[in-house]
Structure 1
Amino acid sequence: MRRRGALFLLPALALPRPAPAQTPVPRGEFWFDPTQLPSFTGTVERYLLNPRGETDALIFREGPQIVFPPDVAEAVRQVAPQGRPLVVWGIRARTAPVITMLAFAPGSDATPTVVERFYWRLGGRLPEERATRLAVAGTVKQPYYAPQGEVAGAILEDGTVILVPQGMAEGMRDLLRPGAKLAAEGMGQEGEGGRALLASALGDQPGTLKPLPPPQR
């Protein structure tokens, strides 16, 4: 009888214990969990506009640029205002300190918010018809990178973004390097969030501007 009772208890002892409850991570439209990608933590130094007047990037105080779709800009800003930390999961370019955001959170212990789509292309940042003509000048803080890592322009010390026509940056590296003096004219937008333009003329001073070919659309 004792042996029979022991055998009767074995199945009950073998039952798996229920897993502890976990907060689900929203997956967006991805077929994978973006938070399995590398994470990057930094302090938001400033948000950046594109020539359409949209916020679609930020700079970490530690140096890297983070790019994201304009439609999540307000959510990112709410989570991490200027001067606050931010954790980003995403893809870092091979050749430059620029990261395409796929998820973000205010800290490693918070539930991440997943970005719904990749934000790869510079073409969608070209100025619209309602853009105005701007003239800017200042000192280059760092190059402005395409998500794939190519130099696509410059960011001035005051946060102004100067985008150059596709394929033109390679011959202008001296003007786009950190610490260089840079002046530009072109179509773009400015407001409380900053300034950004697509350069139609570029030089080291306002009086030395040289025209650039129009962008390929």
Structure 2
Amino acid sequence: MHWIDPEHLPVIPGRVTRLLLSPRGEVDGFLLGDGLEVLMPPHVGAAVAAALTGSHDVTVGIRGVKLRAGNVVAAVAVDLPDGRRFADNGPDHPPSDQPSPNHRPPPQPAVERTPATTTGRIERLLHGGKGELRGVLLHGGEQVRFAAAETEPLAKGIHIGAPFAAAGERVMTTAGSVLVARAIGASADELRDLQPAKEKPGKLKPSPKPGPKADHQRDADAGRHAG
């Protein structure tokens, strides 16, 4: 949302209580003490996480856009108490107000991946940039992430207070850990594999790329029509 001027957005103050991680282990948001879920692109999240190292329990000012679904804000800028601002200036530009001419997008975080399972009760739902369900936070602090379309058949059972189990891969970074679910259910005995989203009916397939193979296919099709 780097095309939005943060100076024309209201300030939402709040105390950061927990960093949120993407399935790749990137910081892509955080929770405030009042329950607000704040979303950020990873290039901003990396800068904010570095600034908050060792002091996550700090009050910040959020300038962002409220989503229709849930108590969620997509942040355009995050202001720290010391006056620093981390704004979404696009992935190819630094998120700080003091840009460096040698800026490069942050590297992918070093991660460790291990097979894992977890069970517990859902403390809150986690969302994507359009407000879609993209994960859960369990009592005890475990973060679980999944693709929105994969959970559509199981969505009725995913709500605050519900029992929840997941199996998949735990991604561990210096900022925390997240379990990327491959199967979910109400208990470890009721796990169901998550299925990738199906292609929508009527969706046009991309045209073949130019080249010998595409030319051969076009000639073959022409021959069939001629016959």
Return the TM-score normalized by structure 2: 0.67
- Counterparts of 1:112-127 in structure 2, within 5 Å, are 112-117=85-90
Q: How far 1:66 sits from its partner (Å)?
A: 0.8
SS of the counterpart of 2:196?
Answer: coil
**For residue 196 of structure 1, what is the aligned residue in structure 2?**
178
> Aligned partners of 1:143, 1:173: CA distance in 2, in Å?
11
| 1:149 aligns with one of 108, 124, 131 | 131
Q: How far 1:189 sits from its partner (Å)?
A: 0.6
1:57-92 residue CA offsets vs partner (Å, 9 max, x unmatched): 111111111111222334323258322111110111
> Aligned partners of 2:147, 2:78: CA distance in 1, in Å?
30
**For residue 82 of structure 1, what is the aligned residue in structure 2?**
56
Contact 1:35 1:103 in 2 (8 A): no
> Aligned partners of 1:85, 1:156: CA distance in 2, in Å?
24
Q: How far 1:171 sits from its partner (Å)?
A: 3.7
Please, what is the CA RMSD of the aligned residues? 2.9
User: In the alignment, does 2:148 pair up with 1:166?
Assistant: yes
Of the two structures, which has the highest relative contact order with CA contacts closer than 8 Å and spacing of 6 or more?
1
Amino acid of the structure 2 residue aligned with 1:52: R
1:115-170 residue CA offsets vs partner (Å, 9 max, x unmatched): 2238xxxxxxxxxxx85432122221111111211222212223332223332444
**For residue 61 of structure 1, what is the aligned residue in structure 2?**
33
**For residue 83 of structure 2, what is the aligned residue in structure 1?**
110
Task: Pick the structure with greater CA Rg.
Answer: 1
Contact 1:102 1:117 in 2 (8 A): no
Contact 1:151 1:170 in 2 (8 A): no
| Count of residues in Structure 1 that have an aligned counterpart in Structure 2 | 178
Structure 1: gaps (5+ residues)? 1-28, 119-129
> Aligned partners of 2:66, 2:171: CA distance in 1, in Å?
28
Structure 1 residues 174 and 32: alpha-carbon distance in aligned structure 2, compared to 1, 3 A threshold: closer
Structure 1 residues 173 and 187: alpha-carbon distance in aligned structure 2, compared to 1, 3 A threshold: same
Same amino acid, percent of matched pairs = 27
> Aligned partners of 2:198, 2:58: CA distance in 1, in Å?
38
Structure 1 residues 34 and 182: alpha-carbon distance in aligned structure 2, compared to 1, 3 A threshold: same
Return the TM-score normalized by structure 1: 0.70
Structure 1 residues 197 and 214: alpha-carbon distance in aligned structure 2, compared to 1, 3 A threshold: farther
SS of the counterpart of 2:7?
Answer: helix
SS of the counterpart of 1:72?
Answer: helix
**For residue 14 of structure 2, what is the aligned residue in structure 1?**
42
Structure 2: gaps (5+ residues)? 92-111, 200-227
Contact 2:183 2:192 in 1 (8 A): yes
> Aligned partners of 1:94, 1:132: CA distance in 2, in Å?
35
Amino acid of the structure 1 residue aligned with 2:25: G
> Aligned partners of 1:52, 1:134: CA distance in 2, in Å?
15
User: In the alignment, does 2:75 pair up with 1:93?
Assistant: no
> Aligned partners of 2:69, 2:194: CA distance in 1, in Å?
26
**For residue 202 of structure 2, what is the aligned residue in structure 1?**
none
> Aligned partners of 1:159, 1:54: CA distance in 2, in Å?
17
Contact 2:122 2:138 in 1 (8 A): yes
